[in-house]
Structure 1
Amino acid sequence: MEELRVSLIQTEILWESIEENLLRYTEKIKDLQNTDLIVLPEMFSTGFTMNPIPVAEKESGKAVQWMIQMATSKKIALTGSLVIEENKKYYNRLFFVFPDGSYKTYDKKHLFSLAKEHANYSAGSEKISIDYKGFKICPLICYDLRFPVWARNVEDYDVLIFVANWPHKRVKAWDALLKARSIENMCYTIGVNRVGTDGNDLFYSGHSAIYDILGDQISAPFQETELIQTISLSKKSILEARKNLGFLRDRDEFNLK
Structure 2
Amino acid sequence: MSYNDVITFVFCFLVFDEPWRTIKWGDNEAALQYVRGYKPPTEGQLIRILLHGPDGAGKSSWINSVQSVLRGRIYRQALVDNTSGDSFTKEYTGYRVKKDDGSFYPFVFNDIMGLSKHGGVLEKDIELALKGHMKEGYKFNPESPLSEGDRHYNKNPTPNDCVHVLVCVIPADTLSIMSNEVAQKFRNIREEASRLKIPQLAILTKPDLAFPEQRNVKNVYRSRYMKEKMEKFSANVGIPMNCIFPVRNYSQETNMDDDIDSLILDAMKNILQCADDFLEFTQDQYYCSMC
Larger Rg: 2
> What TM-score, normalized to structure 1?
0.39
> What TM-score, normalized to structure 2?
0.36
Instruction: Report which of the two has the higher share of strand.
Output: 1
The structure with higher relative contact order (CA 8 Å, sep 6+) is: 2
Instruction: Report which of the two has the higher share of helix.
Output: 2
